[in-house]
A and B are shown apart, each in its own frame.
Chain A
Amino acid sequence: MTDIDLSAQETELSHATLPRGAQWLVAIAAAALGGLSLVLGAGIVGAVAVGGLAFVLGYPLWALLVENRRSATDKLVTGLVWTAFGVAVIPLIWLIYMVVARGTAAISPEFLTYSMRSVTGDEQGGLYHALMGTLIVTGIAALISIPIGIMTAIYLIEYGKGSRLAKAITFLVDVMTGIPSIVAGLFAFALFTLVVGPGTRFGFGGGVALSLLMIPTVVRSTEEMLKLVPDDLREAAYALGVPKWRTITKMVLPTAVGGIVTGVVLSISRVIGETAPLLVASGFNPNMNTNALEDSPMMTVPVFIYTQLSEATAKGVEYAWGGALVLFVLVMALNLIARIVGTIFAPKTGR
């Protein structure tokens, strides 16, 4: 009687496991199944889907038959997690491929150096005016946001710690982060409608709208960087009798400069692709306009893409892709600059 009990326990302690390399066996079988469906005419997407499904379901099924439920669930989830990653990468690769392939076809020296002034039908033209507009409007936004953002962060970290105003500002910066971009555009439009005149759309308005979106990100990133500066540095400066403002400008800011510049550049790359606020606040214009203060619309690259697409002609779509490539290159260049600046200035904490 006791003997039987013991043997029963023994079988409970160790159970059958899948052979080594089982996953590769399943993978090969799944790939074969995918290949078969390709031969049968399912198309490349269908074949990959069949193969992937066969692996994600087949491997746990085998585990369920040989091992147990728990192990099968574990293998199923692992398969799903890998699949989710694989599926999520598809739009990114597809999008980058489309932008580069269709964009390079559209880009020519003329495209980059001409405006759309009196262009009709299939005549040539370009986005030079939009490129200039984007640089000007983004430049204005940066000029407004960077000083305000950095000084606010300095106030929050160096002066206002724990005070009621600082708490209110932190909350308001949170609120600002959540402003829908089109509402920022409407604000700038409403503001200049009242100040300048009804229906005012010009470059400066777009800059104001973008700065509303940019300030919170500058504050956030600068704040994080200032928090990383060790208090010992500040105290050492105070002990030497250095006034507080000199401590901040000569000790704290230089220590944190790498991170601050990285954050600022990233925030520029975030707003340079904004479309909706510029559509409302800067308007659109087929002509060159480099005067941001004059009361006439200023074209920008994102708005160029939008208007070209809404023309719904073959040439319009081509130009939209060209604009998308230009915008994409701008954003990626800014991201790259941010990374490089980050690595150059980063390891200053040692000695």
Chain B
Amino acid sequence: MVAVRDEAVGEAADGSVAGAAVGISGRGSVGDIVFRGFAVAAAALILVALAAVFIFLGIEGIPGFDVDEQHYAGQGSFLGLVVPLLFATMYAAVLALIIAVPFSVAIALFISHYAPRRIAVPVAYVIDLLAAVPSVVFGLWGAVALGPYLVPAHGWLAENLAWLPFFDGQPSGNGRTLFTAAIVLAVMILPIITSICREVFAQTPRLHEEAALALGATRWEMVRYAVFPYARSGMVSAVMLGLGRALGETMAIAMIASPKVVVSLFVIGTQNPQTIAAHIAQGYKESTPDRLSVLIATGLVLFAFTFLVNALARWIVARGRAK
């Protein structure tokens, strides 16, 4: 028994012990080696695949950093192209977060603390359903249904809130703007943030909550002083993961917002700042190798950027756990 346990637990630490244990069992050692080989090969393949992603994107993309001016969509240089794109990517994602986070936290609270159990379970299911809808369907809905519906709202914003830089200008007549796209993007990232927040809220120790209530706290005070402090790092990482998703999301923006490579805060006009992913999707048909290199290079920048955001999210989670 002890030997077997050693094999199960300590194998990776010391290969020779593992070999001995397999030897004791006699039959099946060939099968063991082959099966183990497959498992290790599959795991190693993931390593290789990720390395390949970097290598092939690098080979095809790095020439795109410096090609003839005409391939940079009228921006002159790679930096001139990628800085506005990166700005727009961040901008759209942050707008979506501003809309999505309050709703996500409220819905997560609704499921974990406010709704009666009978309602909470189906509600959680409905929110998960939202996550299953393909992004292209969201894009179609945003472009054909939500956008036209929001045209009066665009007009109202331009008329009454024009002192804000976001709404200062001629509003779009068909609603295909970054404003609409950000709302759709918010609906798309809402299920992710909600489901993580919900789990974190549900993990609040029951005793903390009951102690708060026993001291005479109202339900909101219980949430504020017992649940939120406990869930803070989880909430932050949920928001970061939502941000990571929003940064890489392509179709909603490519299908809804009519684009222009531009740094601008104006969100309700006909020329909306274009994100990296939408820029790639809308330029994919162009067949000149140089232009494709430029697109792949912008893709590399996007990858590096989302990687940083996700790494930050993981770091926050790890720090929260260590406490």
Contact = CB atoms under 8 A, between A and B. Distances in A.
Interface string B2-27: 00110111011100000000100111
Given A87-B103, A190-B61, A243-B22, A162 B12 contact: yes
Nearest to A330: B134
A156 interface: yes
A305 to B, nearest CB: 5
B106 interface: yes
Contacts of A242: 25, 28
A194 B55 CA distance: 11
Contacts of B106: 80-81, 83-85
Contact of A156 (B43, B53, B57): B43
Interface in B248-272: 248-251, 254-255
A280 B280 contact: yes
Question: Majority SS of interface residues in chain A?
Answer: helix
Interface in B284-302: 284, 287, 289, 292, 295-296, 299-300, 302
Given A81-B110, A163-B12, A182-B277, A169 B46 contact: yes
Nearest to B123: A85
A121 interface: no
B135 A85 contact: no
A239 B277 contact: no
Interface stretch (B70-78, B161-169, B218-226, B230-238): B218-226
B12 A180 contact: no
Contacts of B1: 235, 239
Nearest to B102: A84
Contact of A163 (B13, B107, B296): B13
A89 B39 contact: no
A327 B136 contact: yes
Question: Majority SS of interface residues in chain B?
Answer: helix
A99 B42 contact: no
Contact of B109 (A81, A175, A270): A81
B303 A243 contact: no
Contacts of A89: 126
B136 A175 contact: no
B187 A91 contact: yes
Contacts of B135: 273-276
B315 to A, nearest CB: 12
A174 interface: yes
B175 interface: no
Given A92-B129, A212-B49, A182 B250 contact: yes
B27 A243 contact: yes
A189 B303 CA distance: 15
B220 A92 contact: no
Nearest to B38: A151
Interface string B54-94: 00110111000000000000000000000000000000000
Contact of A78 (B32, B127, B220, B244): B220
B13 A180 contact: no
B140 interface: yes
A241 interface: yes
Nearest to A164: B12
Contacts of A238: 4, 7-8
Contact of A302 (B42, B53, B134): B134
A159 interface: yes
Interface in A304-336: 305-306, 309-310, 317, 320-321, 324, 327-328, 331-332, 335
Interface string A143-177: 00001111110111011111101101100111111
A193 B288 CA distance: 13
Contacts of B35: 244-245, 248-249
Given A91-B187, A180-B302, A245 B46 contact: no
21 contacts: A83-B106, A85-B115, A92-B126, A155-B39, A159-B36, A175-B310, A182-B280, A186-B299, A235-B5, A239-B1, A242-B28, A243-B25, A244-B7, A244-B22, A248-B35, A275-B139, A279-B281, A306-B254, A324-B140, A328-B133, A332-B132
Q: 9 tightest CB-CB pairs across the interface, nearest first?
A: A273-B134, A180-B248, A243-B28, A151-B42, A84-B106, A163-B12, A245-B35, A74-B218, A190-B60
